[in-house]
C-alpha cells in the first residue's frame, strides 16, 4: 500500500517520521511484519509518501474472521495512527504463505 504522512515535530522528544509510524503499525494486533518498500518520497514541505508491505494473521486464537475483515480493521487502525494523512493504492489481493 502507499501511505501519505506528515513529518512533524514530536515536541521535546524531537522528530516523528516514517520509522515511528511503522513502529505504531507493527504494534497493531495481528500485524506480523511491516516492510518499507518505497522510502520517503517528498511531495511538499512537510508531506511525504511511502510504500509499505504488511503481513498479518487474519484470525487470532479465539477470534474467527476473514482476511478481508482483518484487512479492513488494520486499515482503520492505520488511518488513526498519528501522522498518517492518507492511504491509497491498496493491494486488492492476498498472498497466502505457508509455515
The DSSP code sequence of 7-70 is -EE-GGG-EE-HHHHHHHHHTSTTEEEEEEEEEEEE-SSSEEEEEEEEEE-S-BTTB---HHHH
**Residue 10: its pLDDT value, please?**
61
Write out the three cell numbers for 26.
Answer: 507493527
Q: Are strands 84-88 and 8-9 parallel, antiparallel or unpaired?
A: unpaired
Which sequence spans correspond to the domains of the chain?
2-88
| Per-residue pLDDT, 93 | 66
The pTM of this model reads 0.80
- The pLDDT tens digits along the chain (99 residues) read 999 999 876 665 557 789 999 999 999 988 999 999 988 888 988 899 999 999 998 877 777 778 888 889 999 999 999 999 999 888 776 666 554
- The neighbour count for residue 94, using CB atoms within 10 Å, is 12
What is the predicted pLDDT for the residue at 61? Answer: 73
CATH 3.30.70 assigned to 2-88: yes
CA distance 55 to 63: 18
Amino acid at each position: 500500500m502507499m501511505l501519505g504522512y506528515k513529518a512533524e515535530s514530536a515536541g521535546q522528544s524531537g522528530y516523528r517520521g516514517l520509522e515511528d509510524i511503522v513502529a505504531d503499525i507493527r504494534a497493531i494486533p495481528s500485524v506480523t511484519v511491516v516492510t518499507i518498500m518505497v522510502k520517503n518520497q517528498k511531495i511538499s514541505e512537510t508531506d511525504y509518501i511511502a510504500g509499505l508491505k504488511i503481513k498479518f494473521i487474519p484470525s487470532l486464537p479465539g477470534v474467527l474472521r476473514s482476511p478481508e475483515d482483518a484487512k479492513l480493521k488494520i486499515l482503520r487502525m492505520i488511518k488513526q495512527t498519528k501522522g498518517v494523512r492518507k492511504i491509497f493504492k491498496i493491494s486488492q489481493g492476498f498472498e497466502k504463505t505457508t509455515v
